[in-house]
Amino acid sequence: MKFYIESLGCAKNQVESEIMMASLISAGLEAAPDAEAADIIIVNSCGFIEAAKRESINTVIELRRLYPQKKIMLAGCLALRYADELRESLTEADAVYASLDSAGIAGQLPVAEKKPETGNRPLLSLPGSAYIKVSDGCDNRCSFCAIPLIRGSLRSRPVEDAAAECAGFLRRGIKEICLVAQDLAAYGFDIAGKSLLAALLARISALDGDFWVRLLYLHPDHFPLDILPAMQNDPRILPYFDIPFQHASEGILQAMNRRGNAAQYLSLLDKIRAALPQAVFRTTFLTGFPGETDTDFKALLDFQRKAEFDWLGVFTYSREDGTPAALLQNAVPKKTALSRKAALEKTQVPITQSKLQKLTGANAAVLIEEEIEGLPSVYKKRESGLLPKKLYTGRLAINAPEVDGASLIYSESPLGIGEFAHGKITGISGFDIIAECG
């Protein structure tokens, strides 16, 4: 039997897909390269917001249309949240796997003789990069967020366990470890009553090798300042901060059940930049939250300009059943939420481009991801007339996988996929960085 997993949603869900793959392979099934070649198709769904729910359901419906004879199973966050309803209404799915135990999915499928478990889960990430999920669930209880309803309360892995997985990936040749969780800042609170992130970074820093450690998603209301010395002492722990501030109006933040305010958040950014002048910041904003006024939105714009984030993602509010925010009055029209989103994105463009322009001429390490054919027009304008023999895509330390701009690297000698190369930043194209190696 061959299986294929269609993994939707966030990087944390991708890790769950990889765990499913390892479990199924250990149980004797074979991974297929695509749905066409599979006997069993598993949709590992996302249920975070309404658009993600629709995508998950539509994916199952489309797969059923394309492959009427194949077995299709729905798993993941949407299955966890709406298992009974989906078993009844989504007849296109042969089964719904509603369990937090991703590895247990093998018990729901026809399996062959069990193989020895190697401990090396397959990776769905970009070459050279791996996500390590250090905790699941969340205790923040932001009023708009359904994650606690889906994934439950915070459950952290022991430091030793997470560090051992990092070491295992490094032995496999991985160059970038991305630590992920619903909230990395809260990692360890359920074990020790305090953040254990600095302790985990200390364990990782003791490992040998040339690699990056990237932290993805740190809640600003309990940001662990004790991680900053680890970054000062070990440049392999990237000073890249993914901090989702969501808003800056104190009234909206309170309604979101977030405890900070604009002044406190700007002070946090100042503290980080004082310790790490090379710090890079990504954040997300949420527009259209119930009751958001023009004054609230102006406060957010003012915060954006003062904070000068390197990268910004903007989302419009999605009303989620069962969340406290779903009961709030004064809904903001969708058109207004979208126009505010567009205004924030427009404001961010010159901020990000200015940050990128300052990198021109600097030397940097690049994680090479893919060799590409053809030459973008920007390279044909080189005064020397020399065209590169090889063209690659990759990422610098300032680029998180898939969400930030990429890097275009040209080299007159071959570069290793999933390996570091070193070169000089020669220019900027939009949000992409152009570099020359070799």
103: helix, coil or strand? helix
Of 296, 220, 294, residue with least CA distance to 258: 220
Q: Taking each helix axis as running N to C, give the angle between helix 294-307 and helix 334-357, from 0 to 180 degrees, rounded to the nearest 10.
A: 10
Distance CA 255, CA 120 (A): 44
pLDDT of amino acid 51: 82
Distance CA 269, CA 306 (A): 10
| DSSP secondary structure letters along 267-332 | HHHHHHHHH-TT-EEEEEEEE--TT--HHHHHHHHHHHHHH--SEEEEEE----TTSGGGG-SSPP
Tokens 């040209």, located at residue:
410
Query: Distance from CA of residue 287 to its chain's centroid?
Result: 20
| DSSP secondary structure letters along 109-128 | S---SPPPP-S-----SSTT
pLDDT of amino acid 376: 56
pLDDT of amino acid 118: 47
Ramachandran angles phi, psi of 342, nearest 5°: -60, -40
> Cβ of 179: how many Cβ atoms within 10 Å?
23
In what helix (H) or strand (E) does residue 2 lie, and over which residues does it extend?
strand 2-7
Query: Distance from CA of residue 151 to its chain's centroid?
Result: 17
Of 306, 242, 246, residue with least CA distance to 270: 306
Distance CA 393, CA 407 (A): 6
For the chain of 438 residues, list the mean pLDDT of each consecutive stretch of 10: 89 88 88 90 85 88 92 89 88 88 80 56 89 93 90 93 94 95 94 96 95 96 95 96 96 95 96 97 97 97 97 94 92 96 96 93 93 63 58 91 86 90 89 86
Q: How far is CA 194 from CA 185, 201, 224, in A?
A: 9, 15, 9
| DSSP secondary structure letters along 138-204 | -S---TT--HHHHH-S-EEPPHHHHHHHHHHHHHTT--EEEEE-S-GGGTTHHHHSS--HHHHHHHH
pLDDT of amino acid 114: 56
Q: Spell out the residues 6+ positions from residue 355 whose beta carbon is closer than 8 angstroms to its own.
A: 308, 310
pLDDT of amino acid 413: 84
Both tokens of 237, joined, read 């722990």
End-to-end CA distance of the chain: give it in Å, rounded. Answer: 46
Q: Whole-model pTM?
A: 0.86
pLDDT of amino acid 272: 97
> Domains (ranges, CATH) in the chain?
2-108 (3.40.50.12160), 129-357 (3.80.30.20), 363-437 (2.40.50.140)
